[in-house]
Structures are given as structure tokens and as C-alpha cells.
A and B are shown apart, each in its own frame.
Chain A
Amino acid sequence: MKSLLLIASFLFSTSLFAQTVAFNVSLTPAGSFEAVSQKLKGNLIKSGGGFTADKLWISIESFKTGIELRDEHLWKHLNSSKHPKAVLSEVKGANGKAIGKLTVNGVTKPVNMTYTDDGKKVSAAFTVKASTFNLPKAQYMGVGVSDEVNVKVTHPYVVK
């Protein structure tokens, strides 16, 4: 039974790792892929009933999609050579909702998130549009990507 639970958790979880950023990219005409990194840095603090984080950051080139060439295209598309990090700053959250500022490609935009707290880590989700970060429309051999991207962030917190 334990084996079954382990297999199920492997199949149906985005990631077994704590510090994770994953975003789902929809392809046109069909399909999608997920880019995942377990290298999110920075401190998330729980104080009272809420959460704060001054700055969480991740290296763009730590994201993996399962295909080497697709990784390279993703990094290039996100302009990693010029802006190697994505940053989530000024995060404040309470009662399952949070706000913050996301910086990608050198452009900073406010984001609204929802989150859950499992007692050790927070899992947050939000949606952004790539075009608002001045990212060009992506197209490769007839396959494109949708503008809207769903992001999931999982990060452990410290209690103060």
C-alpha cells in the first residue's frame, strides 16, 4: 500500500521538492509543457497570521523542461543572458491571498496570488501574461506558445 501511495504521489504531484517554481506553458496548436526549477532562493517569513518575503529569486537557467533544446529556447526567450534572474519581491499574504511584485526580463509588474499553507511550506499560484513583461511572441517550426502562463511556487517558511 505504501508503494502505491508513493507511485501516486510521484504521478500526481507537481514536485516532491520544497523550493520549487513551476510554470505551465500552453502550446499552440496543442499541448503544453512544464518548466520546473528547485532552486528558489530567499526567505519566506510567517508572522502572526500572515506571510512576508522581501525578495525571492531564481535563476532563469535553472529551469528545465525535459528537452535540452526547449530549455535553451526558454532561457533565450526569457532573455536570461541580460536578465539572469526572476524575482518575486514585496510579498505580503494573509488568509490565502497574497500580493507581490514579479520581475522578469527587467520588467516589474504586480501579481495577485492565492496560496495554501501545509504547516511547513506555502504553495502559491498566480497567472501572468508574458507580453506584459515585454517578452516577444514565441514560435518555433509552426508551434507557438500562449501568452498566459500559470505559475506555481512552493517554498518553506520560518516562523517569527
Chain B
Amino acid sequence: MIKLITFIFVIVLTPGAWAYTNFIGHSYTSCLNCHYNPFGGGPINDYGRAVSATAISSDTFTPDSWDQEKLAYTSGFLFRKPKQDWLRTQINYRGFQLVRNPGSSESEQKEWINMQFDGRVVLKFGENDKFIAVANYGYAPLPHPKPPGKEQALWRSREHYIGYRVTPKFGVYAGLMDQVYGIRVIEHIAYSRTIPQVAQNDQVHGVLLHYLGDTFEVGAHAYGGNLSQEEDLRMAGGSLKFEKTAFSHHRLGASVKKAGNDYLDLVSYSAHGRFNLKEGSALLAEIGQTDRKTQNGSDDRTSRYGLLQTYLRPFRGLYFLTNIEYLKRNLELDDYSVRWGPGIQYFPLQRLELRLDLYNTRNFSPDSSTPDSWMYLFQTHIWI
């Protein structure tokens, strides 16, 4: 039983390779500066790699003879400046130590989990890389609960898509991608990702339109579900996300999503804000609601969730994190959950991220009492 619970934590509560949306604190309002995917996640471009080396990662351990320019140009694959313009590659590894009930002599559980091992390839052509093809293939644990129907492989495509920037402002993308919805925070644990089903294993095959205005950004995503699933299980539908720059440095946005299969229909909507606190620090906030309707009516409910995250950067390479989440799984009931915890994210040198997160979950119910759950994750992320 403990193994099963541990497995659930691993799959559902694990940070993965998504966008670092807090980088609005470095005044990057749009993900497109650093990612090939206009809404973030997946492989980063040359500029993104240079930013990660010169702004995100500490330079404490780099040789004194290296200046920032050299750091930027060694951020490429295998520490080299690319010799051609059309191919980019990246390898990612993420693993972590999961500790449940830390400090308890009776029930402390420790386990090392290999969470992600990806190879990423990007082909790009044309002026300003207007044509791109992205493939991301690798290892990831199977989702839990295991989806019914076709078995997923441990090694599988995490995303594969092509993109065409018709103009610098307007782009069309097609293939297997993350759904466009809300703040794509790195924590798959987040209620704001799991409740509307836009988390780690919810990629879909579809077409994404992206428009980038001077002070706003909009994405429209139409999809037929994940084609690797059996047809009756594919969550087909669409989502829409809008973000507007506010007070020069911040972003306010809203999202809506409608998707369903033969057994389930979901309608979700959310509002969010990403706030630049200057010098790399940021505040992220999102509130949302998901209406869930099942075919036989056995599990219909409306859920409401909230997310508040702060990233405070005392100096280059280090971020102090605070995460507060709220979930009311069924608005007709009085029960609700609050999850909170501090964290530390440290990039001691380029290509290496170390992260420690502590999570406390408390369930509030007028009818029952459950003990708080505690866990921490110590994560290692390496990319080359």
C-alpha cells in the first residue's frame, strides 16, 4: 500500500520539464523568447540557453578567466557554439529523492525516482527560424491512475510538432503539444494543472494558433486528444488563452478550455497574473474552476482551485520559493484542501538545477479528521 501511495506521489506530484514561468521576473513576459513552443516548455532556443547560463545560473564556480560572453557561448549542446543554423539538440535528465513523512521513525519512506530522461531535436529553417520541427522522446514514469485502454510505454514521445511563423507575430503549430491553458507552472502537483487536466501527461494532438501583439498574446488550441489513446478515451476539444501586459512589467490573463470523450466532459476557466517583482523575483497567481460531467452522472462535480507562488531571488543562481494552493474539489460540499510549502531552487552552474521542496497538505472537513501529510522532494535536473 505504501508503495502504491508513493507511486501516486511520484507520478502526480512531480515537477517536470515545463516552462519556468517565473522568469517574467527577468522581464521576459513571453515564453517565445527562450522556447520554441510559444507557451513554454520543451526545448529552449539558443537565446534561452544563453539566458540560463548568464542570468539564471550562478557563475560562482566558473573560472575567473571566463566572461559572461564566453558563458553564453558555452551554453550550447556539449558546451559548444553550434556550427550550423538548422539543427539543435538537447538532453535532459531529472531525478529526485522523494521522502514521505520525513522524521517519522515508523513511516518515513525514501525513494530515488528517475523522472525524466529526454532527447530533444529541433530542426529549424528560414528567416528568424520561421519553420521548426520539434521532437522530444524519452523516458517518463507511467501516469497514475493508469489510463484504461492502450498501455503507454515508459519510453515515448513527449511532444512532436511542426511550426510555421507566418509573420513574426503570428504562428501556426500542429502536432503533439501541451494544452494551452493557465500558467504552465513547473509543478505537476499543482491543482491548477491536475484539476483541468493540463498536467504532465495531458499532451494532445492538435493545431495551435499563436498571436503575439505588442501588449498582448493569445493562443487558440483545437485538438483531437492524444492519438496514442484509444478513440473513446481521447479528450478532444479546445482551449483559449489570453494574456495582456499590465503596467509594463506584468501579465494578466484568462483561459478557457472545453474537452471531452465518451465518458467525461470538462469545462474549465481560469484567471491568472504573473508579476515581475524585479531582479529576477516574481509572483504567480491563478484561480480557476472546472465543471466535470460524467456520462452516467456518478462523479459530476464543480471544483475550484487557487495558486499563489513567489520566487524571490536574493542573488544570481538562487531562488526562494513559496507555494500556496487551495482546492475545493466539490463546491456542493464543505471539504477543502490547502497545500503549502517553501522551497529552494539553486542553479550552481549552467546545466545544473538543484531543488528542494517541502509540501504540507491539510484537508479540512466538517465530517472527518485526517492528519496532515508531509513530504519533501530533492530534485536534480541536468541538461546538456
Contact = CB atoms under 8 A, between A and B. Distances in A.
Given A28-B168, A29-B128, A29-B212, A69 B72 contact: yes
Contacts of B165: 29
Nearest to A12: B247
Tell me which of A14, A29, A66 has the highest count of chain B C-beta atoms within 10 A of its own C-beta.
Answer: A29
A29 B32 contact: yes
Contact of B33 (A14, A29, A66, A69): A29
B62 to A, nearest CB: 12
Contacts of A68: 54-55, 68, 316
Nearest to B55: A67
A5 interface: no
Interface in A35-66: 65-66
A30 B212 CA distance: 7
Contacts of B72: 69, 141
Contacts of A69: 50, 54-55, 68-69, 71-72
A143 B247 contact: no
Size range of the chain A interface in the assembly? 20 to 34
A126 B27 CA distance: 21
B50 to A, nearest CB: 6
A142 B54 contact: no
Interface stretch (B198-206, B277-285, B294-302): B277-285
B31 to A, nearest CB: 8
30 contacts: A11-B247, A11-B275, A12-B247, A24-B248, A27-B33, A29-B33, A29-B128, A29-B212, A30-B33, A30-B212, A31-B27, A31-B28, A31-B29, A31-B32, A32-B27, A66-B278, A66-B279, A67-B51, A67-B54, A68-B54, A68-B68, A69-B54, A69-B55, A69-B68, A69-B69, A69-B71, A70-B55, A141-B47, A142-B47, A142-B128
Interface of B: 26-30, 32-33, 38, 45-47, 50-51, 54-55, 68-69, 71-72, 128-129, 165, 168-169, 212, 214, 217, 247-250, 275, 277-280, 316
Interface of A: 10-12, 14, 24, 26-34, 65-70, 72, 140-143
Given A68-B316, A142-B129, 9 more contacts: A11-B275, A29-B212, A33-B28, A67-B26, A67-B55, A68-B54, A68-B55, A69-B50, A142-B47
